[in-house]
């Protein structure tokens, strides 16, 4: 039931922004080379994917694809330039106490990994 409540964010009504931050454990190391870490303080999940926003920079980064339960099967990444690139990977929504607690994504474009790890502060 908790998952059903959390996934109500993906209904046809306007998406509800989640506030928190993208946080990365030290074990991941630093971004660079063949991997990038998405920076965010707001996340907006909807029926077509998940948008990660960094308010201070007015930046947006979107994972697009199809949902299967709490997993988004990523088919494209759309950076702030707005041009989508074909991608492969997944995003997973974690639910705790009936609300989305964490959203983690890993997708690849041309051998480069794009990582997003959002913690909901609500």
**pLDDT-derived band at 11, boundaries 50, 70, 90:** low
Place of tokens 């009936």: 98
Task: Please give the structure tokens belonging to residue 41.
Answer: 């303080």
With a pLDDT cut of 70, the percent of the chain lying above it is 89
Looking at residues 63-91, what average pLDDT do you find? 95
pLDDT in tens, 36-48: 999 999 999 999 9
The pTM of this model reads 0.86
Nearest Cα residue to 118 out of 37, 10, 28: 37
What three-state secondary structure class fits 103? strand
**Does the pLDDT value for residue 21 go beyond 50?**
yes
């Amino acid at each position: 039931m908790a998952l059903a409540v959390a996934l109500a964010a993906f209904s046809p009504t306007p998406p509800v922004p989640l506030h928190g931050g993208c946080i990365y454990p030290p074990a991941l190391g630093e971004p660079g080379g063949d991997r990038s870490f998405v920076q965010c303080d707001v996340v907006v999940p909807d029926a077509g994917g998940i948008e990660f926003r960094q308010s201070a920079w007015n930046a947006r980064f979107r994972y697009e694809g199809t949902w299967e339960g709490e997993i988004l099967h990523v088919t494209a990444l759309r950076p702030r330039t707005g041009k989508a690139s074909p991608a492969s990977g997944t995003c997973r929504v974690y639910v705790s106490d009936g609300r989305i607690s964490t959203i983690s994504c890993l997708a690849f474009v041309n051998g480069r990994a794009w990582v997003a790890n959002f913690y909901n502060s609500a």
